[in-house]
């Protein structure tokens, strides 16, 4: 039997590829022989990641994007097809939060900035829908492809503060299930749509929320650790195996699922 996890020569598009998680996944997949198209807003950072991959014998290219702009993403797709000839996997890792969509302990729901709430929904949810719509087309044309969205623990359990982000991530989980059915019914079983739900990983987005300047945990960080059976935060590289599984032929009968990688956080029992 062939190696079901083999992803050599897969063309993988990663939105949000310049973030802590995105860059780690990009480098790992390149080491496994995949060809990486990194999409992001930070051109300097993106090119640094590409150069690291190239130095290690991998194949990668950076494309500046705006995941909320259909025309921009369509141009990205056109360029990637010209450069690599196909798209095998889309990782929708773009996302983020804004201060106005967060309700801090000294605030109430009435302090929510609805404009920023909408922007967070757009960045996370619409910023997943648009790349899916664009990069699904070449997958349908070639008759095979895998889309992996990024959900969150906030989609499973209500969490204080992150009002807008949680609403968007819950939407992504639902959108994932919807698209799995839509693609299987209309385009066949070789087009699969799944999601990954990371537990708590230290990123630039949440570092100040979870850790103090000296590296110790804030009260929020301590609450996370208390409810994580493994008793620690995740390491970015611990997402890579699940990503590889979902995009490979090892998961040909897997669609519509949200794979949890959380050290047991979602199974915590009082």
The set of catalytic residues is 165
Q: Are 229 and 264 spatial neighbours (Cβ–Cβ below 8 Å)?
A: yes
CB 178 within 8 Å of CB 149: no
Environment class of residue 185 by beta-carbon count within 10 Å: exposed (0-12), middle (13-18) or buried (19+)? exposed
d(CA 224, CA 148): 25
Rounded to the nearest 5 percent, the helix, strand and coil shares of the chain are 50, 15, 35
Q: Give me 103's structure tokens.
A: 């309700």
Q: How far apart are CA 94 and CA 123, in angstroms?
A: 8
- The crossing angle, in degrees rounded to 10, of helices 70-84 and 127-142 is 40
Which of 109, 127, 155, 25 minimizes the C-alpha distance to 66? 127
């Amino acid at each position: 039997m062939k190696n079901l996890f083999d992803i050599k020569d897969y063309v993988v598009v990663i939105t949000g590829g310049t973030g802590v998680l995105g860059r780690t996944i990009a480098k790992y997949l390149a080491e496994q022989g995949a060809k990486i198209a990194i999409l992001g807003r930070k051109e300097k950072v993106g090119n640094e990641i590409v150069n690291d991959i190239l130095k290690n014998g991998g194949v990668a290219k950076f494309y500046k994007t705006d995941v909320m702009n259909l025309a921009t993403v369509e141009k990205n797709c056109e360029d990637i097809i010209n450069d690599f000839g196909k798209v095998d996997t889309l990782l929708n890792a773009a996302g983020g939060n804004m201060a106005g969509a967060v309700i801090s302990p000294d605030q109430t729901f009435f302090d929510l900035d609805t404009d920023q709430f909408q922007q967070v929904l757009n960045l996370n949810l619409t910023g997943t829908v648009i790349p899916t719509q664009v990069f699904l087309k070449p997958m349908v044309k070639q008759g095979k492809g895998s889309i992996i969205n990024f959900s969150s623990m906030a989609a499973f359990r209500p969490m204080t503060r992150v009002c807008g982000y949680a609403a968007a991530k819950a939407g992504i989980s639902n959108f994932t299930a919807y698209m799995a059915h839509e693609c299987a019914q209309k385009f066949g079983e070789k087009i699969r749509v799944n999601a990954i739900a990371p537990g708590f990983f230290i990123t630039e987005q949440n570092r100040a929320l979870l850790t103090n300047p000296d590296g110790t945990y804030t009260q929020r960080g301590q609450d996370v650790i208390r409810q994580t059976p493994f008793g620690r935060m995740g390491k970015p590289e611990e997402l890579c195996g699940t990503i590889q599984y979902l995009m490979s032929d090892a998961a040909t009968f897997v669609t519509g699922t949200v794979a949890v990688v959380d050290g047991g956080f979602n199974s915590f029992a009082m």
